[in-house]
Structure 1
Amino acid sequence: MVGGADRLRQARGPVGHAAAANAQAQNFQDNYTSLDLENRRRWPISYRSIEIVAIIVDILTILSAGVLADTIYGLTTERPSEITSYAGAAAVVAALFTSLLKERGFYKPTALLAWTAQVRAVTIAWIGVFMFLAGCVFALKIGSTFSRGTIILFATIGLSGLIVQRAFWRSALENGMATGKFSGRSIVLISENFRASDLQQALLRHGFRVERHFVLGVDSSHSSNWDDIISQAISYIRGSNVLEVFIAAELQSWAKLHVSTERLRLLPLPVNLVTVGPTSELLKRPLSAIGTTTVIELQRAPLNSFELLIKRAFDIVFAGTALVALMPLLALVAIVIKLDSPGPVIFRQTRHGFNGKPFHILKFRTMTVLEDGDSIKQAVRSDKRVTRVGLWLRRTSIDELPQLINVLRGEMSIVGPRPHAAAHDNHFDQVIANYAFRHRMKPGITGYAQVKGLRGETPTVEAMQRRVDIDLWYIDNWSFLLDFAIVLRTVVVIARGQNAY
């Protein structure tokens, strides 16, 4: 075998640069294929098949949970087994659940590695599917067909199994890629640049066996170089055990590359383009189509349609129930405010909501002034503007209860970044670069920043920046369970009465 140094010495002529690079690449490949990773015992599963395997395992997990729930509940209650009915119900749940996660891309290997996002998505989808099916059962009046105990047990076992399974997938994927255990196909790599060792190692970790690496000429004055290298690649692949071709190039070279690689159509093999350079980031984003036009999603909304539906449903149910239950208290507070000091019972002030849209927030009046405009002073400790009743209302946060009406109107949410007066928005928007990002979600009656100790006055830019950072974390990491936890923690914060004045 000719050594790497000999190959470099033999590279001469107008295509010497490309030949030298290919000699260097082949020398690297000789050493590379001798790595311990290449000789490890591989698993009987390829990286590309992980998605379909994960879907099948989820289906089996859900079906098993349905059968197991019926069996356990039947043994504890001594009722006849109805495995057929519950297996059928589990099959419906499995179809809806896996379809939902598949459509959102949560079965892709990269998504399976994201533990927190996986648990959140699985939990939300699982609850959503059961809520949907509960509505269907109620509408069809077939509730007597199923035992509530078995359904609760099925939901618990199924969700637990799916979450445990996510821990397994993350561990297996990390181990498989670190040690190169995935099975794969023999491939040929063609790249513009020899410095593709990182790509080769990535391909190996994902199960591919790089049999040969060809480097395209970098000197554009010799356009025939690319044709020569493609010819060499075709000659090598014919009669070999290579099953796939990968081409690594920048998209700015596509016009020339397309002409040269057209000759690869002679081979009855799949050819893949691996984009490198700045434009590669663009193709990592979700793609869709409008007619025959390809659309690239540069930015997604904080919440998708399903998540918006869940959050809005929670807002309506919570706000509606709270208003009915608290009606006597609200009426009493209104009377006390009217007797305590002159002025309206309800205070309205302009705030900015979702996407910066202005609305009038509703609060019980707690001050002797009704400020709204370009200049508003924040309330401070021992503020002389606060009335006697207003001080008690502010400490207990009862003054915020009329915002339940804002929630029902769709202007606010139960949980979200707290809205500030329009004058304060205008000021902080000029001094805090990412301040306006808070408007990517509806403002809330309570928020994550408030339960993290940042309730009340923000006298400095630094204090507001801390609040903004927490609000943005909430927007980027929203989940139904997080909202529920914030509501529970809000009760504790109100009971302590910290920073409420």
Structure 2
Amino acid sequence: MNFINRHIGDHGSDLAAFNSPSSTADEGRWPVRYESIEFVAICADIATILFAGFLSTLLFSPAGRAPAGLAQACVYAAVTSVPFVYILKGRGLYRPTELLVLRSQFRAICLTWVLLHVLAVAVEMLDDNSHFFQGAGLLFAALGLASLIAQRCVTRILLIRCFSGRRFARTNLVLITDQPPSTHAGLSETLSVLGYCVKSRFGLPAIGSDPDSRKRLSSRVIEHIRNSEVDKIVLEAKPERWAELRAFISDLRVLPFPIVFVPVGAASELLRHPTRSLGSAACVEIQPGSLTAIERASKRTLDIVGAGLTLTICAPLLAIAAVAIRLDSAGPILFKQQRCGFNGRIFSIRKFRTMHVLENGPVVVQATPLDPRITRVGRWLRRTSLDELPQLLNVLDGSMSLVGPRPHAVAHDGQFDKLVRKYAFRRRVKPGLTGWAQIHGCRGPTPTPTMVERRVEYDLWYIDNWSLRLDLEILLRTPLEVLRGRNAC
């Protein structure tokens, strides 16, 4: 089953529903191979964008007149399609199994399309001679987005028909393996869903066998393939015997067909990870960064814009809070405390002072609902979470994000790290002003290991499922959670 797993990727379960026998298995096949779906989907996106550019110019032109700016629209559509396709392909969204998941497709299309057009508008504002977005450009933006979404719906329907009806163009394989036949009981059935057909199967000799046995096998394979309709040769074996496999593959080079090596065992899991280059050396990326460069840029943009707007809008409220703190008790208006941030880096968090004490050392006592250390104004600030607003300055300087796991005092961080096994995984992203845990009621003190574990579970889910849409959802739900006042003190 290793060969099929390499082709269907991490969404193999999505194809389980199409594994049942079909009466149309050998009828009505379409002239598209499974391996060609990505290329066809890319061409379809480019054609859709070009058509949207042409149609928007045509609709925007006055009736009875030749469309003006048609060349400009086509050039703009072509230029837009290149980064659009590049971004989606980089995220693996043209893989067949990914094309079946409309939710992720719609999210990626909308975010990428909007981002590209925001950049286009910004560039046009700098060019006094360009007036595309004063005319057909806005219509193109709307029509292009609608067309791409509609095209994805049609693509999904066609793919489902291909899978369920086994309509992919047939790809004939010759399988050469060192695995016993019992391990391939369901291989032919599963491969047939994707249009693959194992025409012949040859067994590799045991490790350390006589070199003549390899020669005899290669001669048999070559003679068989030259008299058969074969599209691809699949070699499935253990990587530790690569030295003798290299010689065997060298014998097969006389055949004008692609040869695919499928490793068996632990190496197959290793090769599921993306490959990278480290100088002249090839390497395997075991654990990627939590966010890609584009995702980090979009999140940082949201942080700067959101923090800047919030500080501007809330400036009068911040001034009132500062005056109230000064009149209520002696001490500074802002309280700074060492917190553990991204990758374990220590930074100073800013908060409105809400206590008579300024604890910032190896021992920090968590606040309780009736804590006598809390000032009168401080109790109101903590209840409404207004004491956290100065952390917007941390967001602007880059030590925090608007959304992420809440940072804890350094003293508590070391303690929680010993209590919860995966606690340190939270440091893979910047800490946030609010987070997935907070909108689910995980606010305030964490006196028990169970409460810490629950908060960490929410934080890790957020890290594994991050999207710009999720950040926006958390930001919109945070004020509602503040009004509810759950666990605030």
TM-score w.r.t. length of structure 1:
0.86
Aligned to 1:176: 162
- Whether 2:413 is the aligned partner of 1:418: answer no
* Cα 1:98–1:38 shift into 2, 3 Å: same
Aligned to 2:108: 121
Q: Would you say how many aligned residue pairs link Structure 1 and Structure 2? A: 466
CA contact (8 A) 1:216 1:225 kept: no
Gaps of 5+ in 1: 1-33
* Cα 1:454–1:156 shift into 2, 3 Å: farther
Separation of aligned partners in 1, 2:356 and 2:325: 11
Separation of aligned partners in 2, 1:392 and 1:361: 20
CA contact (8 A) 2:175 2:235 kept: yes
- Whether 2:469 is the aligned partner of 1:494: answer no
* Cα 1:246–1:413 shift into 2, 3 Å: same
Aligned to 1:158: 144
The residue type paired with residue 146 of structure 2 is: S
Residue identity (%): 43
Q: Deviations over 1:385-420 (max 9, x none)?
A: 211101111122111111011011110011111111
Matches within 5 A, 1:230-379: 230-379=218-367
- SS of 2:377 mapped into structure 1: helix
Separation of aligned partners in 2, 1:440 and 1:253: 38
Aligned to 1:132: 119
Matches within 5 A, 1:88-103: 88-103=75-90
- SS of 2:131 mapped into structure 1: helix
Aligned to 2:7: none
- Whether 2:157 is the aligned partner of 1:147: answer no
Aligned to 1:15: none
The residue type paired with residue 408 of structure 2 is: H
* Cα 1:180–1:80 shift into 2, 3 Å: closer
Separation of aligned partners in 2, 1:133 and 1:294: 37
Separation of aligned partners in 2, 1:464 and 1:387: 27
The residue type paired with residue 86 of structure 1 is: A
- SS of 1:347 mapped into structure 2: strand
Q: Which moved more, 1:471-480 or 1:375-384?
A: 375-384
Partner residue of 2:467 out of 467, 479, 488: 479
Pairwise CA distance, 1:79? 12
Q: Deviations over 1:65-114 (max 9, x none)?
A: 334444555579x9976544333322221122112222333222243344
Aligned to 1:86: 73
Separation of aligned partners in 2, 1:72 and 1:208: 45
* Cα 1:237–1:436 shift into 2, 3 Å: same
Aligned residues: CA RMSD: 2.5
Q: Deviations over 1:328-373 (max 9, x none)?
A: 3222211110110111111111111111101010000011111122
CA contact (8 A) 2:364 2:411 kept: yes
Aligned to 2:450: 462
Separation of aligned partners in 1, 2:455 and 2:130: 47
* Cα 1:90–1:221 shift into 2, 3 Å: closer
Q: Deviations over 1:246-302 (max 9, x none)?
A: 111121121122122321112222211122211011112111223431121111111
Q: Deviations over 1:181-236 (max 9, x none)?
A: 21133221111112234443343322222211111133645554333322221121
- SS of 1:266 mapped into structure 2: coil
- SS of 1:463 mapped into structure 2: helix
- Whether 2:93 is the aligned partner of 1:106: answer yes
Partner residue of 2:386 out of 382, 398, 416: 398
Gaps of 5+ in 2: 1-20
- Whether 2:45 is the aligned partner of 1:42: answer no
Separation of aligned partners in 1, 2:139 and 2:246: 57
Larger Rg over CA atoms: 1
Aligned to 2:10: none
Pairwise CA distance, 1:121? 2.6
Aligned to 2:176: 190
Separation of aligned partners in 2, 1:229 and 1:438: 54
CA contact (8 A) 2:361 2:411 kept: yes
Q: Which moved more, 1:396-405 or 1:156-165?
A: 156-165
- SS of 2:332 mapped into structure 1: coil
* Cα 1:475–1:120 shift into 2, 3 Å: farther
The residue type paired with residue 463 of structure 2 is: I
Separation of aligned partners in 2, 1:291 and 1:403: 40
Q: Deviations over 1:428-481 (max 9, x none)?
A: 111111111111111111111111222223232222212111111111221112
Q: Deviations over 1:145-183 (max 9, x none)?
A: 3226x5444333323332343344445445434443211
Separation of aligned partners in 2, 1:288 and 1:80: 47
* Cα 1:79–1:413 shift into 2, 3 Å: farther
Q: Which moved more, 1:387-396 or 1:372-381?
A: 372-381
Separation of aligned partners in 2, 1:270 and 1:248: 14
Q: Which moved more, 1:298-307 or 1:490-499?
A: 490-499
* Cα 1:267–1:221 shift into 2, 3 Å: closer
Q: Which moved more, 1:122-131 or 1:386-395?
A: 122-131
